[in-house]
Chains A and B, each alone.
Chain A
């Protein structure tokens, strides 16, 4: 029967080519717009560490002076896990998590040793030993540094595969010297391509939310000793001396903690509160606020997804809704015009269910055609997005799940659009239609 309905639908399309083309075009536009914006939204709100994000936490504290009464929610949504070096290192050294890392970003000036090559700026990460294991950064060659290396302010570096290609043509560069911001560092590790999206660890410390991975990773203590400046510095005392950041009342590092189980968060939060209480009694802190969002909670709190992307998705679905209403109208007109044909079919013994099924198959076919067209529009839309200068632009590609989603959305949209016309078709009374013939 299904094949017969398909045949009937094709015949009906052939009879009303313009009308059918209009329906398919409108539906295709709506679906194309929705899929494009959904793809971007999915990309932007993705999980950067799907295998362990529930166990990764961002401790948040309020180090502001007594006279500043900023609501904790407002401070944390601005600062996230940003804190001073002193507090971050205190919490790091307490080792209350499985792993913990302190992170800051720096614009690293790289001076190639080859003659005639100009120095250039790279994205640098100043961090502590656990960073690589905690965030599952895979090594091509070598490994990260030890905690002792950090304490000793050892001049060792891990570089990205991109930088390794650029400086050493992709060869194993372990043991080579790289000149970073006028100091020599020895390469002890080369990463495989690694760029979690969103760049969760970069958000609070002054980095872009999306885009390429970082190029050079240095022990935080060594880099600070070599006077590399962090990308985002927030000082709460006008007398702060930014030239001695390790002791300054300035927040410029982020702290990350990996717990053995997500359920250990309560215990860690208690520890964090106790630390803050202790600092209050020492007179260093004045506000008891703490928070401990997990990775996905943190991304939500930091509102990493731009408002414009959400607005565009709403707009696209509004557009799709109008396209569906439009399709309902056109399908209805088409089937009312065929009242006589329906009358004949009913008189020859077709049940109401059969007529309903026939018209649903017809609208489903409009949907599939709209889906194919929508896919083309979505690819066009994503191509246009890739040519925008936004930091996430290059990542906008259609994946398998969105490919499937296109047809699911197209079918659902067209079947919803077909309901009313199909129902109107199946309640056509055969007798009056036959009388007029």
Chain B
């Protein structure tokens, strides 16, 4: 290694430049890979429902807010009966939202009635009509589904039906926040003004993602309440995956057929809803991949350029080494070792820079700390890239004939 280091001392500036470029690339590529991993993990979270068996629709008259023109429970029942009759549909229920569907209801939950310090804010409320748990395909790990007489008239929009149902199914995530380390089944929490309504937990589901992942509500924080009808709600239909397209096409005709003056502004195959929700993340992943690709290409070409220059500059020295008995493999090894050394220095500096960059990103964006294992792929990629980039110039060097040494220039 010693002669390699000695030779490098003659090219301090160029060596420093290559090392700097490698270090910067390493820092950015490592963080970009981490960002990609982060987004991929988000995109592959379990929703907790039967993703590829659902289609949903909203119809005008179900809009949020004021009551005039809202579908009455009777209208909703007629709609659902008609939807159930579409060939292929196995079951239909009404709910206020679905995981990743965007719009959500949230509220505070009281652990102890009247004790304002016991309020857990930003719990996400799912409400559903009879058969909602089965239709959505929510798996209960403990307890039971709602009983037919547990569905009540309840609306978070107030009015007459402001008394909530007396039972609920909670997500494991919410249960762990309400009662850490305890079995939630049979526990009681409270809703309403000063927590005046008691609600008993009859079931627990391991997973049910929030309709929207955001800093206030987090990823999972939901509970399900049984209701008779949902103001501003959506119809959810369950069927075999291959029936989804046909059913989706039939829905607007059926609903408008029941009432020609209404609009069906939203109807969607549920997997498309998920895919739409993550569109921004997918675009970001592609962008990061393109940037990583361009960065690696630019860096590799830079290394090729500078290595070629060094080979050209040292043609005579190579000739002398060859004349003194060095084999082609020796020359190759020399250039590969030199490259490994420079890139190695760059990578070490780059890893430190990557950690610093991650800390800076954490300061400015909602990003968490990068586990140190994420440093490995970036380092490996750059070391391999460096060796590949130097291969062609090194090969050219190894083909320098010994006779060059004897020529004066």
Residues of A within 8 A of B (CB): 19, 22, 26, 29-30, 33, 67, 78, 106-107, 109, 111, 118-121, 181-182, 224, 226-230, 233, 235, 237-243, 245, 248, 306-308, 310-312, 315-316, 318-319, 321-323, 325-326, 328-330, 332-334, 336-337, 388-390, 420, 424, 436
Contact = CB atoms under 8 A, between A and B. Distances in A.
28 contacts: A33-B291, A67-B119, A78-B216, A109-B263, A111-B261, A119-B263, A226-B68, A227-B67, A238-B193, A239-B192, A242-B65, A243-B157, A243-B158, A243-B159, A308-B284, A310-B364, A311-B365, A315-B32, A319-B294, A321-B24, A322-B295, A326-B301, A329-B18, A329-B306, A330-B302, A333-B14, A333-B306, A436-B409
B14 A239 contact: no
A329 B14 contact: yes
Q: Which 10 A-B pairs have the closest CB atoms?
A: A229-B65, A241-B158, A227-B68, A242-B157, A333-B309, A67-B116, A227-B66, A326-B302, A329-B17, A229-B66
Interface string B257-284: 0000111010000000000100110011
* Range of interface residues on B (Cβ < 8 Å): 35 or more
B162 interface: yes
B306 to A, nearest CB: 5
A329 B305 contact: yes
Contact of B66 (A26, A242, A329): A242
Nearest to B365: A307
B106 to A, nearest CB: 10
A341 B209 CA distance: 69
A318 B28 contact: yes
Given A243-B66, A315-B291, A322 B306 contact: no
Contacts of B193: 237-239
A322 B24 contact: yes
Contact of B20 (A224, A325, A390): A325
A253 to B, nearest CB: 13
Contact of B298 (A235, A306, A316, A322): A322
B131 to A, nearest CB: 27
A107 B302 contact: no
Contact of A240 (B60, B158, B294): B158
Contacts of A337: 309, 312-313
Given A26-B301, A121-B265, A326-B302, 18 more contacts: A22-B305, A181-B69, A238-B191, A238-B193, A318-B28, A319-B295, A322-B25, A328-B17, A329-B14, A329-B306, A330-B302, A332-B17, A333-B14, A333-B305, A336-B14, A337-B309, A390-B280, A420-B13
Contacts of B305: 19, 22, 329-330, 333
B150 to A, nearest CB: 20
A238 B192 contact: yes
Contacts of B295: 319, 322
A434 to B, nearest CB: 13
Contacts of B242: none
Interface in B183-214: 191-193
B158 A326 contact: no
B21 interface: yes
Contacts of A325: 17, 20-21, 24, 302
